[in-house]
Amino acid sequence: AFFLSWPGQPLPSGPLEALASLKALGFPVNAPVAALSPDGQFTPVQRHALEMLNCRGVSYATLAPLVEEQTLQRPTLDWDIDGLVFKVDALALREELGATEHHPRWAVAYKFESPQGETKVEEITVQVGRTGRVTPVARVAPVVVGGSTITFVTLHNQGFIEGLELNIGDVVSISRRGDVIPAVERVVEKLTPGTWQFPDFCPACGSCLRKEGAHAFCPQPDCPDQKRFRLIFFAGKDQMDIENLGPETVDTLISLGLVNDPADFFTCDYDKLLDVPGFGPKKVDLIRAGVEKARKQPFVRVLTSLGIPDLGPKLAQLLIESGLKNYLALRDALENRAEELINLPGVGERTVESLKLGLLKPSVNRLIEKLTRAGLVMEAQSPRGPENTAFAGTVWCVTGSFEKFQPRALAEEEILKRSGRVVSAVSGATTHLLAGSGAGSKLQKAQSLGVSVVSEQDFLTALTQQRIPGQGVSS
């Protein structure tokens, strides 16, 4: 954003003129692609601006070819764009058009179509996530869309597949929506009759799948795939951040039978890895170092790493700040005082229900016990020690210069540490003025208002005695 002013001259009628003036003054500007008018005619002032900006002035009839041209030029640009924006130039007209609740009426965006490609669905598999949700995924013949090769595309759920009437062997068109996530847009050529059907049983553990809303879930908590993803999640960067312990190492630990639940990361014998090709002593030492570092992660991390639905870092922090500093306190609150939790900001009935469902499970209870025995931090620490309230209720202003407190913010820090308040100007609410040498108008004002004036020496004494200057020793 920028502000322009033209002393003694009329303001530019719109961005076009403003940009031209800026360019004339030597500023680098990003000129529009083109200016459009109904018949391609422009006023002399506008024509001058267009010339200055090296910008084309064209008629509305040129709009379609212009969009086509820009679409073709897109890959040659040095930056990524996802569309074009058309704006009314005249500021007066913008004013008149105004805005709806959501957007101005004087600008409209044209989004380029997502890059697309056609390919054949070779296989549909289902993946079981750490929460048990089962997601169908299509493996397709590799196809390049928007510059990257796509082999796997999520199919979300049975409803999505039915909407497409998709089956294995069909030719589909694939786009990269927002140019990132590949998505199946439609079946282009139906080569296999019928629609692919979800399996009735979990491919990982054979349990009968359960439908919840649009999605299918594996109800077996011991399901090997769920377990695997829970372990990978727990060790992941945004959770316990166990360095040097990525998915491949987790898989190796599982296959050796060393790790069954997250607590095992902290107790298992990593020397057993030395027998596995690719795991030298150096690598194993790095893994152990990562585990030791993670063992000291704060409780809020431990809590969110459990992967309880809805229990992210924000909610975990909120619960801890509300005084629920360990698992027992959380469990007690969920079991006996759920209404209090519902009243926390941003926490509703639904959230509390999913916390109950997640945290009160016997399996989570057992895991918490194991993690405690493994020496993890299972209680949130107060950020400071016990609160020092020696100066509680006092309001300080600090002025002048000091021998021991340079800069004087150091003195202010001492006041804040003792629960006093610090203000920048003396007023009727000020209780103390800490006056160093060279104190001027603030000292006079304090004296006229009857505010206690404290010297550096008295202040130092008050700090060591932990009492408000001019008052008796507080207990």
| Distance, CA of 15 to CA of 89 (rounded, Å) | 6
Q: Of these, 223, 294, 411, 446, which contacts Zn ion (CB under 5 A)? A: 223
Considering the complex, what minimum distance in angstroms separates the CB of residue 130 from Zn ion?
A: 11
| Distance, CA of 199 to CA of 186 (rounded, Å) | 22
Beta partners for 310?
Answer: none
User: To the nearest 10°, the Cα dihedral for 252, 256, 261, 267?
Assistant: -100
Nearer to Zn ion, 204 or 235 (CB): 204
Nearer to Zn ion, 89 or 225 (CB): 225
Considering the complex, what minimum distance in angstroms separates the CB of residue 132 from Zn ion?
A: 7
Residue pair 384/374 in contact (Cβ under 8 Å)? The answer is no
Amino acid at position 346, single letter: G
Considering the complex, what minimum distance in angstroms separates the CB of residue 309 from Zn ion?
A: 17
Considering the complex, what minimum distance in angstroms separates the CB of residue 121 from Zn ion?
A: 24
Work out whether 127 is an interface residue with Zn ion (CB under 5 A).
no
Work out whether 204 is an interface residue with Zn ion (CB under 5 A).
yes
Nearer to Zn ion, 223 or 242 (CB): 223
φ, ψ at 187 (rounded to 5°): -85, 125
Cis peptide before 407 (omega within 30 of 0): yes
Stretch near Zn ion under the rule CB under 5 A, chosen from 174-182, 184-192, 214-222, 460-468: 214-222
Exposed (0-12), middle (13-18) or buried (19+): which is 257, by Cβ within 10 Å?
exposed
Nearer to Zn ion, 91 or 205 (CB): 205
Work out whether 422 is an interface residue with Zn ion (CB under 5 A).
no
Stretch near Zn ion under the rule CB under 5 A, chosen from 96-104, 203-211, 278-286, 421-429: 203-211
Amino acid at position 28, single letter: P
Considering the complex, what minimum distance in angstroms separates the CB of residue 136 from Zn ion?
A: 15
What part of residues 9-68 is at the interface with Zn ion (CB under 5 A)? Answer: none
Considering the complex, what minimum distance in angstroms separates the CB of residue 131 from Zn ion?
A: 11
User: Which of 200, 198, 263, 199 has the alpha carbon at shortest distance from 227?
Assistant: 263
- Residue 360 CB neighbour total at 10 angstroms: 13
Stretch near Zn ion under the rule CB under 5 A, chosen from 9-17, 118-126, 200-208, 365-373: 200-208
Considering the complex, what minimum distance in angstroms separates the CB of residue 256 from Zn ion?
A: 22
CA of residue 296 relative to chain centroid, distance = 24
Q: Where are the alpha helices (DSSP H) in 6-142?
A: 15-24, 44-53, 63-73, 91-97
Q: Angle at the Cα of 108 (from 24 to 80), degrees rounded to 5?
A: 70
Stretch near Zn ion under the rule CB under 5 A, chosen from 81-89, 210-218, 248-256, 410-418: 210-218
Nearer to Zn ion, 218 or 306 (CB): 218
Write the DSSP symbol of residue 387: P
| Distance, CA of 149 to CA of 128 (rounded, Å) | 24
| Distance, CA of 177 to CA of 189 (rounded, Å) | 21
Buried b (16+ CB within 10 A) or exposed e, 121-131: beebebebbbb
Considering the complex, what minimum distance in angstroms separates the CB of residue 371 from Zn ion?
A: 24
Work out whether 245 is an interface residue with Zn ion (CB under 5 A).
no
Long-range (24+ apart) CB contacts under 8 A made by 342-345 are 344/318, 344/319, 345/318
Nearer to Zn ion, 119 or 220 (CB): 220
Nearer to Zn ion, 132 or 436 (CB): 132
Q: Of these, 126, 161, 202, 446, which contacts Zn ion (CB under 5 A)? A: 202
Work out whether 218 is an interface residue with Zn ion (CB under 5 A).
yes
Residue pair 33/110 in contact (Cβ under 8 Å)? The answer is no
Considering the complex, what minimum distance in angstroms separates the CB of residue 127 from Zn ion?
A: 11
Nearer to Zn ion, 167 or 207 (CB): 207
Considering the complex, what minimum distance in angstroms separates the CB of residue 373 from Zn ion?
A: 28
Contacts of 428 (CB under 8 A, 6+ apart): 449
Stretch near Zn ion under the rule CB under 5 A, chosen from 165-173, 216-224, 335-343, 449-457: 216-224
| Distance, CA of 408 to CA of 385 (rounded, Å) | 24
Beta partners for 186?
Answer: 173
Q: How many chain residues bind Zn ion (CB under 5 A)?
A: 7
Nearer to Zn ion, 157 or 399 (CB): 157
Nearer to Zn ion, 202 or 398 (CB): 202
Q: Of these, 66, 205, 344, 395, which contacts Zn ion (CB under 5 A)? A: 205
Considering the complex, what minimum distance in angstroms separates the CB of residue 210 from Zn ion?
A: 11
List of residues contacting Zn ion (CB under 5 A)? 202, 204-205, 207, 218, 220, 223
